Structure 1
Amino acid sequence: MNPNNFLGAEPLIIARLKAVLPDDVHVLSAAELAKIAGEQQPTPAVHVVYDGYRTEDTKVPAVVRVVQSWITVVVARNVADIEQGFHARQAAGPLASQVVEALYRHTLKNDKDEAFGNGPLRLAAAPNPGFDDGHFYLPLAWDCPINFISNAC
């Protein structure tokens, strides 16, 4: 089955995180995040950001396998040790574990219980973390495989 929305994983990832993370964690899309200035960043938070795709050979001419990359960025803030950032990193660690628990090998499904993609999310290599004025940003990357079937062959 071809997905009817190439970026349909985003609302499903957000819904999954909102369903399993504690109520005080802000789960934000890239569009929501764009409206927030750095110093207004709510914490704790998880950002969900699309990061492109790659294709993989399927050995079947009518099938194109696309593996999308989605990044969830865990954000924690603690100014107790603002120069070294130790306390902010320690605050991000448990939330990162909760995000991994929520998404690792999770199959995204819509409200009709139909799977999005062609398999569960897989943990992938992520960009480096960042630290800014007491905020610690810890990216976790996810591969989301999707098969597109062509009728052209």
Structure 2
Amino acid sequence: MSGTPCDTPQRPTFLGLEPLIVARLEATVRSALQVPVLSTADIAGATEASLPKPSVRVAYGGHQVVQAGAQLPAGWALIEQTWIVVPAVRNVRDIRAGAAPRADASPLCDAVLDALDGWAPGCGYGPLKSVTPGLRPATLDGCTYVPLAFTSRFRRTTQCT
């Protein structure tokens, strides 16, 4: 996959999907809407007030072992990871009803969904699938956050190599 940060095409790393998602969003959302894309490293240690808005934030949302053992080679497991992508905007017009910030967030949500839903990142990771996030949208002090969630599956060895 040209221009994509793959460590090893045949062997995905456990958190290796994050830089692929960030690169995809930078190539699509950032270039089209001029909105920064922030990784976990960008967010870590920062105060919310110091983070740019509008922005799109990418964070690990957990995993589950979907299948292990019998239907896979010995020592391998099928992992399904969830990644949370949060468009964030700030708009204090109509702060009580929230219509203005929702209107600002909507194009970011559409751009993220268009970029990631069904996208196959390669590098051993399966296509991303939009799923219901475990977090609800929130508005606080004029900032609106709309979490979107995506899952991807990959095979991972359960043995040391």
Matched pairs, number: 145
Q: Which amino acid in 1 is paired with 2:104?
A: A
Superposition TM-score, scaled by structure 2 size: 0.82
Structure 2 equivalent of residue 121 of structure 1: 128
Q: Deviations over 1:64-84 (max 9, x none)?
A: 110011000010111001222
Q: Distance in 1 between the 2:97 and 2:124 partners?
A: 41
Q: Which of 45, 64, 69 is the matching residue for 2:82? A: 69
Please, which runs of 5 or more residues in structure 1 have no aligned partner? Answer: 110-114
Task: Assess, with a 3 A threshold, how the Cα gap between structure 1 residues 51 and 88 changes in structure 2: closer, same or farther.
Answer: same
For residue 33 of structure 1, report the CA deviation from its aligned partner: 1.2
3-state SS of paired residue (1:36): coil
Please, which runs of 5 or more residues in structure 2 have no aligned partner? Answer: 1-9
Which stretch has the larger CA shift, 98-107 or 78-87? 78-87
For residue 38 of structure 1, report the CA deviation from its aligned partner: 2.0
Q: Which of 52, 60, 81 is the matching residue for 2:94? A: 81
Q: Which amino acid in 2 is paired with 1:57?
A: Q
Percent identity (aligned): 35
Q: Distance in 1 between the 2:124 and 2:117 partners?
A: 15
Task: Assess, with a 3 A threshold, how the Cα gap between structure 1 residues 83 and 40 changes in structure 2: closer, same or farther.
Answer: farther
Structure 2 equivalent of residue 43 of structure 1: 53
Q: Distance in 1 between the 2:150 and 2:57 partners?
A: 13
Is 1:32 aligned with 2:8? no
The RMSD of aligned alpha carbons is 1.9
For the 8 Å contact 1:8–1:116, the answer to whether it is kept is no
